[in-house]
Each structure stands twice: as structure tokens, then as C-alpha cells.
Amino acid sequence: MRHQRAGKKLGRDSAHRKALYSNLAGALIEHGRIRTTVTKAKAVKPIAEQMITLGRRGDLHARRQATAFLRSRDIVHLLFAEVAPRFKDRPGGYTRITKIGPRAGDAAEMAYLELVDEEYVAQLREERQTAVAVEDEAPETEDAVVEDEPEESDEDADGDEADEDEEAGEDEESSDEAAPAAEAEEPSN
């Protein structure tokens, strides 16, 4: 009998399940919204809310408890510095589950697990989009700078080679013209 054994097993052993919860809670804190199955969202929601409550407490012991569960100092810092202060006046209920329909591959019911503070989620979304835009522009700019200098020397070299090719082409044309004339002369001899 499973008396007093709350929570889903999710087809995993206890260590795998704990790692899954830690990773999902960390991703929620880091990104503000995650897409997962409804069952996993329901299982990780109380844990994520508990982490935000630890962040609201803000003392050293709470920070150590959060680090022990989340296993990432960067995510714990983000939790205590940015996420938890946004919920300082809210007495619980920091997350919501929004169902989004079945997954295409196996028809598993999918949902968004997101933080309730929409301003924060929107801010994170904008930061990610600008970061992606900057990353897309940065390599092009670096490549252009790197390629500009060699291209100038290549252009000079290409220009000289192109002039030589054109001259060679003219010589070939004149030699081509001379060749038919020579062939025409041979039968006449």
C-alpha cells in the first residue's frame, strides 16, 4: 500500500525523478516559462513555488537549501536576485499551468508552466530575442571585418589576374583567329 506516499513516480527511479524536478524548476526560474507534459508540470509546480518562497526569505540558510536542490549557483543567484523580489508582496501562487493540447509524436497532453508575473516573463522573452539577434549579427560583423582586409588584397590580386586573364583571352582569341586562317592556308598549299 502507498499510504502517505504523495506524488507521481513518472516511470523513473527516485534519483532520476529528483534530477528531473531540479532541472525543470531551474529551467522555469531561468526562462520564466517552460513547455512540458501536464503530469510533469503538476509534479514540479509545488517544488518551483517552494524555491521561490526560499528566495523570498533571502537568508543564508534558504540560499543553501535552494542550492542543495537546484544544484546551480547561477540559477540560485537569479532566483534570489531577480525572481523572488518580484513576488515579495504575493502570498503564494507564483506559477500557472496552461494546457496547450496534445504533442504530435505521442499525443501526450502538453502544457506551459510559467511564472505568474507577466512583466518578468515578457522581459525575459525580449532579452532572449535581443540576445539571439545580437548573436546573429555579431558573427556576420566579425566575418565581414576579417574578410574585408583579405578581400582588398584579393581584389588587387584578382584584378591583376583578371587583367592577365583578359589579355590572355585576347591573345587566345587572336590565336584562335589565326588558327582557322592557318588551317585555311594548309589546304590551299
- The predicted-structure confidence for 6-25, as pLDDT tens digits, reads as follows 888 999 999 999 999 999 99
Give the separation between CA 49 and CA 55, rounded to whole angstroms: 10
Residue 172 above 60 pLDDT?
no
Distance CA 189, CA 186 (A): 5
Give SS3 for 172.
Answer: helix
95-102 vs 33-37, strand pairing mode: unpaired
* pLDDT above 90 (res 180): no
- pTM for the complete prediction? 0.65
Length of the chain equals 189
Spatial separation of the C-alpha atoms in residues 147 and 162, rounded to whole Å: 20
Say if residue 167's pLDDT is above 80: no
Give the domains, in start order, of the chain with CATH numbers. Answer: 14-116 (3.90.1030.10), 117-189 (no CATH)
Average pLDDT over residues 40-45: 96
Q: Each residue of 49-74: pLDDT tens digit?
A: 999 999 999 999 999 999 999 999 99
Top-confidence range, 105-109, 142-146, 159-163, 168-172: 105-109
Which residues fall within 8 angstroms of residue 128, CB to CB, at 6 or more apart? 31
User: What is the rounded average pLDDT of the residues 96-114?
Assistant: 96
Query: Can you read off the three cell numbers belonging to residue 23?
Result: 532541472
Taking the C-alpha atoms of residue 39 and residue 107, their distance in angstroms, rounded to an integer, is 13
Do 115 and 31 contact (CB within 8 A), yes or no? no
Q: State the number of CA atoms in the 13 A half-sphere of 72 facing the CB.
A: 15
How far apart are the C-alpha atoms of 97 and 45, rounded to whole Å? 8
